[in-house]
Amino acid sequence: MIPLILYDIPSKLEGNHWSPNTAKPRFVLGYKGLPFRIEWVEYPDIAPRMKEIGASKDKLPDGRELYTLPVLSDPNTNALITDSWNIAEYLEKTYPEKPIFPNKSKGLMLVFNTTVYGLGRPAFKFPFLRVSRILNERSMEYFITTREELHKEKISEFSPEGLKRDEHWAIIKRAMETCKEWYDKEEGKWLMGDVFSYADIIIASRLFWLKRILHDDEWETIANWHDGRWGKLLANVEKECNEV
C-alpha cells in the first residue's frame, strides 16, 4: 500500500504538530493502521500549494478563494479530500476496518462535532493568542495579520491578563464540565463506553491542541480538572491511535 499524504502546518514546537483540525485525520489514520506521511506547508504557502495539487476551495463572502488544511491525498485511489470531517468519512468508507462511526453513528458524530466546536468558540481568542507565538516566522506573520484584519483588533488585545482572560478560562472550564457530563453517562473510558469512536477523537484533538499551544502550567490546569480526566483521556486516545 502506498502511504497516504496528510498536509499539515508546522510550528516551532518539537514534533511540529499542533493543529486540532489536522490532528483528527492523523488520529484516524493511526487508529486504522494506515501508512501515511506528513507534508508540511506554512500558512502563506497553503493557497498556492493546494491550488497546485488541485485541492478544493471555499469562497469568502467577498469572493476571494479560501484554501484550508487538512488535505489528504490518497495515491491508492487518486482521491484528494479537504476538511477533517470529509477526510474521516472518506477513510471510513474506503478503509472500513476498525470503524470510527460504530453502530451507524455517523450522523450523530456530525452533530457532536459541531456541538463540541461551539462549546469553546466564545473563548477562541485566548488559544489564538497562544497559537500566534508557536508558529514559524512566516506563518506567524500571516496568522497575526489575517486574524487582526478579521477581528478588527490587535492580537495583543485578544485575551489580555485580567477580566477578559478570566472570562475565557471560565468558558473553557464550563466546556470541559459539559464534556465530563457526557462521559459520565456511560461506564468505560470512551464516550460510547467500551467502544472507541470518532467522538473521542474530536475531544482529544481539542485537548491535543491546548496541550501543544498553552503554557505548561496552563495545560496542567486543564489536564488535572475532574480528577485528571482530560490528561488521561488524551493519553488513552494517543495510545489507541498509535501516537505513542
List the domains of the chain with CATH numbers.
4-101 (3.40.30.10), 103-240 (1.20.1050.10)
Asked whether residue 244 carries a pLDDT value surpassing 90, the answer given is no
What is the average pLDDT across 111-133?
95
Q: CA–CA separation, 118 vs 80, rounded Å?
A: 28
Residue with cell 482572560: 165
Under 8 Å between Cβ of 96 and 34: no
- By CB atoms closer than 10 A (0-12, 13-18, 19+), residue 57 is middle
What is the average pLDDT across 100-112?
97
Asked whether residue 197 carries a pLDDT value surpassing 80, the answer given is yes
Asked whether residue 32 carries a pLDDT value surpassing 80, the answer given is yes
Alpha helices in the chain (DSSP H): 20-32, 46-53, 84-94, 106-120, 125-131, 137-151, 163-184, 198-213, 216-223, 225-240
Q: How far is CA 32 from the centre of its chain?
A: 18
pLDDT of the residue at 220: 98
Asked whether residue 149 carries a pLDDT value surpassing 90, the answer given is yes
Instruction: Specify the 3-state DSSP secondary structure of 39.
Output: strand
Question: What values do phi and psi take at 72, rounded to 5?
Answer: -120, 130
* Average of per-residue pLDDT values in the chain: 96
Contacts of 146 (CB under 8 A, 6+ apart): none
pLDDT of the residue at 64: 76
Output the nine-digit C-alpha cell for 227: 480528577
What is the average pLDDT across 137-149?
97
- By CB atoms closer than 10 A (0-12, 13-18, 19+), residue 46 is buried
pLDDT of the residue at 57: 86
pLDDT per residue as tens digits for the range 164-191: 999 999 999 999 999 999 999 999 999 9
Least confident interval from 4-8, 32-36, 47-51, 57-61: 57-61
Q: pLDDT confidence of 125, banded at 50, 70, 90?
A: very high
pLDDT per residue as tens digits for the range 74-83: 999 999 999 9
Q: pLDDT confidence of 211, banded at 50, 70, 90?
A: very high
pLDDT of the residue at 227: 95
Report the candidate in 67, 71, 73 with the shortest Cα–Cα distance to residue 94.
73
**The one-letter amino acid at 51:** K
Letter string b/e over residues 121-159, b meaning 16 or more CB atoms within 10 A of that residue's CB = eebbbbbbbbbbeebeeebbebbbeebbeeeeeebeebb
| Residues paired with residue 81 on neighbouring β-strands, in sequence order | 72
**The one-letter amino acid at 180:** K
Q: CA–CA separation, 48 vs 53, rounded Å?
A: 9
Asked whether residue 210 carries a pLDDT value surpassing 90, the answer given is yes
pLDDT of the residue at 18: 98
